[in-house]
Amino acid sequence: MAFEVKIKRRVTRSVRAGTIYIGGDHPITVQSMCATRTQDIAKTLNQIRLLEAHGCDLIRVAIDSKKDIEALQELRKETNANLVVDLQESYRLAESVAPFVNKIRYNPGHLHHHETSRSVDDKVKYIVDVAGAHDLAVRIGVNFGSIDPTQAELSEGSQEAALNSVSQHVALMDKFGFKNFVVSLKSSNPNDVIEINKRFAEAHPEVPLHLGVTEAGLLPMGEVKSRIAFEHLLALGIGDTIRVSLTLPFDEKYQEVLIGRKIIEDVYAGRFRSVPKFEQNGMNIISCPSCSRVENEAFVKLAQDVYSATEFARDKNITIAVMGCRVNGPGETDDADLGLWCAPKHVNLKRGEELVGAFSYEEILPRMLLELNSIISGGIISSGDKLAV
């Protein structure tokens, strides 16, 4: 349905990342992330070019080792694309990657994992000093599944913890005089994404926002979740850059860009498909976007197989999370009834926060179904139980 809509964008500061600007009066930019292993230079370069060809403004690659950085250096020789690197759990990578990228992202929740004797303030100062020296943009990226443990302990609920965490880091940016940054506040629940971004925009009207529903999952529901959040926020003038995070085969990553641009186009044309509030009824399968942090490409097929194998329980209010790497896997699965996070040669299966065990890619699906049947029946399984089908 289309109707007249007048959207007045928030007037934020402009943040430059390579050849594009985020915020101000600049067009909303669309981002994606390479799914290929960064060290596979040929495949990663091909994916960068594929994403660029479909209108991607910023392309993220995963860096987690010295060999990844060497590969990044080679990639930069072959492309002028605006590249982003996620510092993941090691803020100290910033200086090594800075000459080859245009933007770096750090997660406040991950600054506690290394060099625990060094203060968070010092770590952030190091990041912004590197960014300033190399004229890079920075994204402060907060995810509900990996919130700063200190803030989580002091706050009531994930929203308050996330807001308190990001406000602390915005204050650090001000303290260190760094302005070239954006913020993202992401959850796998579109309602949380809508609410927390509205609250942040009101409290910090000058800061550009990167919108995303993290681990939106497989199509078509992944698009639905993203569309609901983006339609609500963009219609309020909130949002300066977006990322549609989908679990896709590697050669279809460009779908994130096409869907993102279509949502923006629809909102500004007054075409809305979402509902006033997202209501999750029945099976909720959360899966992270296929990206280069994934340590086994079988993750994508596993997510698809989980979706297909749970068809019989589609009406049950159960959440299953399928995560592709060790960075997001442990934390992002904690709130799910069943969580699967993938290592190179096995899959860790969790029931709530408890680890059930590690299973091969061939064993995991029947074992997951065994746990699912147990949840549905309200029972507790033992190692001798058989799967009820």
CATH number at residue 254: 3.20.20.20
Tell me if 1 is assigned to some domain: no
Q: What percent of the chain has pLDDT over 90?
A: 63
Give residue 387's pLDDT: 36
Same domain, 207 and 73: yes
What would the mean pLDDT of 301-330 be, rounded to a whole number?
A: 84
Query: Under a CB-based contact definition with an 8 Å cutoff, are residues 210 and 242 in contact?
Result: yes
Using CA atoms of 215, 219, 224, 226 in order, give the dihedral in degrees to the nearest 10: 40
Q: How many residues does the chain have?
A: 389
In-domain check, residue 2:
no
Residue 388 included in any domain: no
With beta carbons less than 8 A apart as the criterion, state whether 154 and 163 touch.
no
Same-domain status, 57 and 132:
yes
Same-domain check for residues 83 and 148: yes
Tell me: pLDDT of 25 over 90.
yes
Neighbours of 380 (CB within 10 A): 9
Tell me which of 10-24, 26-40, 90-104, 112-126 is least confident. Answer: 112-126
Token digits of residue 383: 């190692």
Tokens of 11: 């007037």
| Domain-located, residue 383 | no
Q: What is the pLDDT of residue 155?
A: 86
Please tell me whether residues 36 and 139 are part of one structural domain: yes
Residue of 220, 222, 200 lying closest to 210 (CA atoms): 200
pLDDT band at 385 (very low <50, low <70, confident <90, very high): very low
135-148 confidence digits (pLDDT tens): 999 999 999 888 88
- DSSP lists the bridge partners of residue 22 as 15
Average pLDDT, integer, range 277-300: 74
Unique residue bearing structure tokens 């959040």? 229
Average pLDDT over residues 221-245: 95
Residue 288, helix vs strand vs coil: coil
Are residues 290 and 264 both part of a single domain? no
pLDDT at 292 over 80: no
Confidence of residue 386 (pLDDT cuts 50, 70, 90): very low
Give, in degrees to the nearest 5, the angle at Cα 66 between 78 and 215. Answer: 80
State whether 290 and 261 are in the same domain.
Answer: no
Check whether residue 218 and residue 338 sit in a common domain. Answer: no
Give the count of beta carbons closer than 10 Å to the beta carbon of residue 89.
18
Q: What is the CATH number of the domain that holds 346?
A: 3.30.413.10
How many distinct structural domains can be found in the chain? 2
- Which of these three, 214, 244, 268, is where a domain ends? 268
Average pLDDT score over the chain: 89
In a domain, 310, yes or no: yes
> 32, 256 in Cβ contact below 8 A?
yes
Tokens for 172?
Answer: 């650090």
CA separation for the pair 38, 75 (Å, rounded): 9
Both tokens of 35, joined, read 């799914």
The neighbouring-strand residues paired with 321 are 286, 339
Task: Taking residues 218-234, report their average pLDDT.
Answer: 93
Q: Is residue 362 part of a domain?
A: yes
Judge if 80 and 227 occupy the same domain: yes
Domain end among 268, 295, 321:
268
Contact yes or no for 103/17 (Cβ under 8 A): yes
The CA distance from 354 to 356, in Å, is 6
Backbone angles phi, psi at 266, to 5 degrees: -65, -45
Is residue 142 in a domain? yes
Residues 66 and 199 occupy one common structural domain: yes
- The domain containing residue 333 runs over which residues? 284-377
- 255, 77, 19, 230: CA torsion to nearest 10: 20
| 389, part of any domain | no
Whether 343 and 213 map to the same domain: the answer is no
pLDDT at 338 exceeding the cut of 50: yes
Helix-helix angle 157-175:120-133, to 10 degrees: 60
Bigger pLDDT: 381 or 48? 48
Q: Which of 235, 268, 301 is the last residue of a domain?
A: 268
My answer on whether 209 and 99 are in the same domain is: yes
pLDDT of residue 64: 86
Q: Which of 269, 152, 245, 247 is nearest to 190 (CA)?
A: 245
Same domain? For 119 and 35 the reply is yes
Strand extents, DSSP E, the chain: 14-17, 20-23, 29-33, 58-62, 83-86, 103-106, 137-143, 181-186, 209-212, 241-243, 284-287, 319-323, 338-342, 347-351, 354-359
> Which amino acid makes up residue 143?
N
